[in-house]
Amino acid sequence: MSTLSFLQGSFPSSATPRFVAPGVSYFSSSLRMVPALSHKNPEVIVVNWEKSRNPQHEFSRMAEINMVVRHAEKQLPPVPHWRFCYMTLRNNFNLGALILHQFDIDLRNAVCVLYLSLYALDHIEDDTSISAEVKVPTLMAFHRLIYDQELQFACGTKNYRVLLNKFYHVSTAFMDLGLSYQEVIKDTTKKMGAGMSKFICKEIETIDDYDEYCHYVSGLVGLGLSKLFHASGIEDLPPGTFFHTSFVFGQKADIIQDYLEDINMTPKPRRFWPRQIWNKYTVRLEDFKYEKNSIQALHCLNDMVTNALLHAEDCLKDISAVQDPVILRSIAGVQVYSFLL
């Protein structure tokens, strides 16, 4: 099946998805989880994805996505702030850029600005070099700062530094949007900034904390998208009720697979796994990165994956309620390819 056939709406009837689990591997940044579910005997198979995927196919898949995105970019208006927004989105989230180009221009622009605004929030939160005294008020005020068309932030790494240093382009694009779209983005950034601030100085201790954190940093993205889709008039779903669970599920998958990157972060590690789960298997979360603790690490990993899979049924219910085929492909496509790319 072509890499993009699902996203473009053609799913061959003969295509039967298969997941192969060649073995269980010790924690690494390449670990991926694949659920093998039945109504009687749910279990989790931990897959070392590096062993099960073909590098040549991986390259072809990314090349195909890049080709489609670059073709779509030729249609962009030659306005500096919009060109910056779409190029920045492609550099940081290739699949998101591809999906956006299936929407009409007004909705496409609104979703692009929403994504970039929330990316900026996310990377201000993630920057461990920024003190809490600076970070918290910035996150809390972000929903007001986006109206400043000279706004820039002196932080971030790699491509995200470009986004943050030149955020005035995103602010200018934001001001181009219709008022209904602006209100959705303002409300979403306000809630996310406040939620992130709460966890700057607070550890994720319980599963309730974990669920709350995932709501703030990702569930709100899904709610914001559902509100944009509703405001556009192309999807007749109640605003702010759909896609929340799908994005929380995706966030939990990211937190699980990013364990090693987060725990090795300098100048201090980031800890998103709830103590209520990992403390059953070790006294220090960072102990799981050592091979001598691989058995306990695997038990904890299965516990984390089982927690994430509690959202799977509601994800499918939300997605199955979508009527518009473009929105269906965008939401379902992100869910599928977040595990495959």
Q: 154: which 2 tokens?
A: 């002196």
Q: What are the angstrom distances between the C-alpha of 159 and each of 123, 331, 332?
A: 11, 24, 26
Q: Is residue 70 part of a domain?
A: no
3-state secondary structure of 34: strand
pLDDT for res 301 = 96
pLDDT band at residue 14 using 50, 70 and 90 as cut-offs:
very low
Beta bridge partners of 36: 43
Q: What is the CATH number of the domain that holds 333?
A: 1.10.600.10
Whole-number pLDDT of residue 241: 62
In a domain, residue 83? The reply is yes
- Residue 172's pLDDT is 96
pLDDT at 216 over 80: yes
User: Structure tokens of 306?
Assistant: 């089982």
CA 101, 103, 109, 112 torsion-angle sign:
negative
Q: Angle at Cα 215 formed by Cα 222 and Cα 42, nearest 5°?
A: 90
The domain tally of the chain equals 1
Residue 266 lies in a domain: yes
- Please report the pLDDT score of residue 70 as a whole number: 62
Please give the average per-residue pLDDT across 274-280, as a whole number. 97
Residue 23 lies in a domain: no
Tell me if 175 sits within 8 A of 147, measured CB to CB.
yes
Is residue 197 pLDDT above 90, yes or no?
A: yes
- Show Cβ contacts of residue 151 under 8 Å, excluding neighbours closer than 6 positions: 145, 167, 168, 171
Residue 51 in domain: no
Q: 27: which 2 tokens?
A: 């924690």
Beta strands in the chain (DSSP E): 31-36, 43-48
pLDDT at 68 over 60: no
b/e for 272-299, b at 16 or more Cβ within 10 A?
bbbbbbbeebeeebebbbeeebbeebbe
Query: For residues 331 and 1, is the Cβ–Cβ distance under 8 A?
Result: no
Q: Per-residue pLDDT tens for 24-57?
A: 333 333 333 333 333 333 333 333 334 444 555 5
- Close Cβ partners of 85 (under 8 Å, ≥ 6 residues apart): 112, 113, 116, 169, 170, 173
pLDDT digits (tens, 9 = 90+) for 148-166: 888 777 776 666 788 888 9
Provide the pLDDT confidence category of residue 237 given band limits of 50, 70 and 90. low
Q: Which of residues 3 and 63 earns the better pLDDT score?
A: 63
Per-residue pLDDT for 276 more than 80?
A: yes
- Cα separation of the two ends of the chain: 15
pTM tops 0.85, yes or no: no
Strands (E), 66-218: none
Q: How confident is the model at residue 180 (pLDDT cuts 50, 70, 90)?
A: very high
Which segment, 45-54, 55-64, 300-309, is predicted with the most confidence on average?
A: 300-309
The pLDDT confidence band at residue 61, using thresholds 50, 70 and 90, is: low
In a domain, 292, yes or no: yes
Cα-to-chain-centroid distance, residue 301: 20
The dihedrals phi and psi of 305, each to the nearest 5 degrees, come to -65, -40
Is the residue at 137 inside a domain?
yes
CA distance 85 to 114: 11
- Full domain range(s) for residue 124: 79-340
- Residue type for 290, please? Y
pLDDT higher than threshold 60 for residue 132: yes
Query: Poorest-confidence range of 49-63, 261-275, 293-307?
Result: 49-63
**Is residue 185 situated within a structural domain?**
yes
Beta bridge partners of 136: none
Q: Measure the CA–CA gap between 259 and 273, rounded to whole angstroms.
A: 8
How much is the pLDDT for 54?
53
Least confident of 16-25, 153-162, 232-241: 16-25
pLDDT at 303 over 90: yes
Is residue 106 very low, low, confident or very high in pLDDT (cuts 50, 70, 90)?
Answer: very high
Q: What is the pLDDT confidence band of residue 262, given thresholds at 50, 70 and 90? A: very high
Cβ neighbourhood burial of 222 (10 Å; 0-12, 13-18, 19+): buried
Cβ atoms within 10 Å, residue 80? 11
